[in-house]
């Protein structure tokens, strides 16, 4: 795989900051994997929750959120690397808000399904 053009711009950042950025990226990916596992678990093993359509919808929502989080993680990692290369402030991301609100929404819906079964 060839090196992207943005990696040839600016100056090489201190490797410690690049590695910290990479660890953050991997934490986001672990979170996405956990959401994906939760979606699969909900779909495959939630025999007591009804209606089944709502359970499948929530499981699908978790899987879609996991996929979106992977894209957000890469975009955040890349934007941070570019900012460090040009000695700029790290960019703001809406990823944390999107993740928090989405998980809150799914958690409330699952709690409602459990309470009203």
d(CA 84, CA 78): 10
Instruction: Note whether 91 and 80 are within 8 A (CB).
Output: yes
| pLDDT at res. 93 | 86
Q: Which residues contact 95 (CB under 8 A, 6 or more apart)?
A: 28, 69, 72, 73, 76
The predicted-structure confidence for 42-91, as pLDDT tens digits, reads as follows 999 888 888 989 999 999 999 999 999 999 999 999 999 999 999 999 99
pTM given for the model: 0.85
Give the tens place of pLDDT for each residue, 100-109: 999 999 999 9
The confidence score (pLDDT) of residue 35 equals 95
CA–CA separation, 98 vs 14, rounded Å? Answer: 30
Parse the chain into domains and list their residue ranges: 9-115
What sign does the dihedral 106-21-73-28 (CA atoms) show? negative
């Amino acid at each position: 795989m060839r090196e992207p053009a943005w990696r040839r711009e600016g100056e090489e950042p201190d490797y410690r900051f690049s590695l910290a950025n990479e660890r953050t990226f991997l934490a986001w990916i672990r979170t996405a994997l956990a959401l994906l596992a939760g979606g699969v678990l909900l779909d495959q093993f939630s025999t007591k929750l009804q209606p089944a359509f709502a359970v499948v919808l929530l499981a699908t929502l978790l899987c879609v959120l996991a996929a979106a989080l992977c894209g957000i993680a890469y975009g955040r990692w890349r934007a941070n690397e570019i900012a460090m290369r040009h000695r700029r402030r790290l960019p703001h991301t809406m990823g944390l808000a999107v993740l928090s609100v989405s998980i809150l929404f799914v958690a409330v819906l699952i709690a409602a399904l459990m309470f009203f079964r």
